[in-house]
A and B are shown apart, each in its own frame.
Chain A
Amino acid sequence: MQYKNYSSILDNIKELLPYLSLTFQYVLLALLFGFIFALLLAVMKLCKYKVLRAIAQIYTTIMRCLPSVVLLFVVYFFLPKFSREVLLIDIDDVPKILFVVLTFALFLGGFLSEVMRSAYQAVSKDQMDAALSIGLTPLQAFIRIILPQAFYYAIPNLANTVIYLLKEGALAYTIGLIDVMGRAYQMNTLSYSVYPIPIFVALALIYWPLAIVIEQLFKILERLMNPIKEDKKTAGQKLKGFKAKYLGFLVQTPKGGAEK
């Protein structure tokens, strides 16, 4: 086996970057499934049956009380055993990302259901009444009036959740997933822990800008979704400025556009 030199932070960043795709995969998948699950829980929390409300509440409390690394291990050791002994299906060669997605979907179900509930309750009841009074059906009123406003209230929490997910997802290396963190750990092992600091600092330099970009994107989204008009206008201009400044290379200006 060739002995590798990982002493350059810049080279390490280049080596690590491709593995971000797996990180994005589980972040997005966990968000998707977590969102669906949370929707169910939020509906349970807002419904009139006491039993359903209590179940959803207890579930959320449990998820809030567990450290993610503990739940990750429980899922990782429980699921194969359960499917082998009860469902009689061998899932030993299922990709590890499945466990990560499942763990964080379980977590996000609890978190996001709280976010959804509080956002829904933040929209005043008059809005629904007003919508119904002008002849919208309850479904129309919910989709056109309540949902956009509730979404606006939920954005800061959503941003926190996504960054939380990105950060906690790094723990997936403990079950052997080779995402960006897992790759850094693997590189460290392959080089016999001679260059741990350049490798992990390179990784930190990947996570840092990533979290900042996500935070800023959600801030722009928040400004765009702001119900007050003037703010929306400036946000649109800011978005244009942002595009011109950072994403200029994506927008191809047509040649000779000035003459036309």
Chain B
Amino acid sequence: MNLDTDFLWSVFLKALAKLPVNFEIAIVALVVAIPLGLLAAIVCNNKVPVASQALKVFVSFIRSTPPILLILIIYYVKKSLDMQGVIKIDPIWYAIFIFSLIEIALLTEVFRSALLSIPATQLEAAESIGMTKLQGYRRIVIPQVLGVALPVLCSSITDLVKMTSLAFALTVVDIMAIAKIEGGFSLSFMEAYLAVSLIYLIVVFVLERIFKIFERFTKSYADK
């Protein structure tokens, strides 16, 4: 069995050029999801009526449906919007939208358990020295929550990067789409997907290493 290494290398380079697309989706989704997830977690844990129940249903729904299904639903919404000519925007925005939703749901759970690990006395102490509740959260509770949640947060970021491989279903031209296109032209799908798996392997591995180092630096903070 022979492997067409020249072709593999050419797909590797072409797909690598599309890596920023995947990163863009992941980073924007994270920037949206981290504050909103934190807010949702605080709302849930404080048992704000109506909002916390609604959030629980939302989180449970997103967490138990396959991401590809949510993406397909959004894809058909996009298609009908395009056909009616309501809005025509780059499909990447739809990808960002749906990955943000998924990530908000996942991070809400992460932050919720992190919030529970911070004793309530911390907030009470902050209020006793004259801080408002908002200040208490911002200066005392949230920094600790981020410290506690960091390991899980990091692994959920790598999961998100892996999940962006599904963006091709939204007609976003990312790494996977390149493999599909190139594989389709030359009918050597195996090499095309091997090239993509190599990229993911390197990217996710490097990300994990970076997070490990990062965690070592911030570990003392989480212990306190």
From B64, B68, B70, B197, contact of A70 by CB (8 A) = B197
Chain A residues with CB below 8 A from B134, complex form: none
- Known contacts A73-B189, A85-B1, A181-B66, A196 near B72 by CB under 8 Å: yes
Q: Cα distance A39–B72 when bound, in Å?
A: 36
- Known contacts A61-B205, A196-B76, A197-B76, A204 near B61 by CB under 8 Å: yes
Cβ contacts A154-196/B at 8 Å (1 or 0 each): 0000000001001111110100000001000100000001001
Interface residues of B in 46-95 (CB under 8 A from A): 60-61, 63-70, 72-73, 76-77, 79
Chain B residues with CB below 8 A from A73, complex form: 179, 189, 193
Q: Are A70 and B165 interface neighbours, CB within 8 A?
A: yes
Q: For this complex, into which size category does the number of interface residues on chain A fall?
A: 35 or more
Q: Cα distance A74–B190 when bound, in Å?
A: 6
Name the distance in Å between B53's Cβ and chain A's nearest Cβ: 15
Chain A residues with CB below 8 A from B68, complex form: 69, 170-171, 173, 181
Chain A residues with CB below 8 A from B197, complex form: 66, 70-71, 74
Chain B residues with CB below 8 A from A33, complex form: none
Total interface residues on B, CB under 8 Å, equals 34
User: Does A62 belong to the interface (CB within 8 Å)?
Assistant: yes
Q: Cα distance A201–B77 when bound, in Å?
A: 12
Cβ contacts B158-189/A at 8 Å (1 or 0 each): 00001101100000000010010000000001
Q: Are A81 and B1 interface neighbours, CB within 8 A?
A: yes
Chain B residues with CB below 8 A from A169, complex form: 66
Given known contacts A204-B73, A211-B63, A212-B60, what 8 new A-B pairs fall within 8 Å (CB)? A64-B208, A65-B204, A66-B201, A69-B165, A73-B179, A168-B66, A196-B76, A208-B60
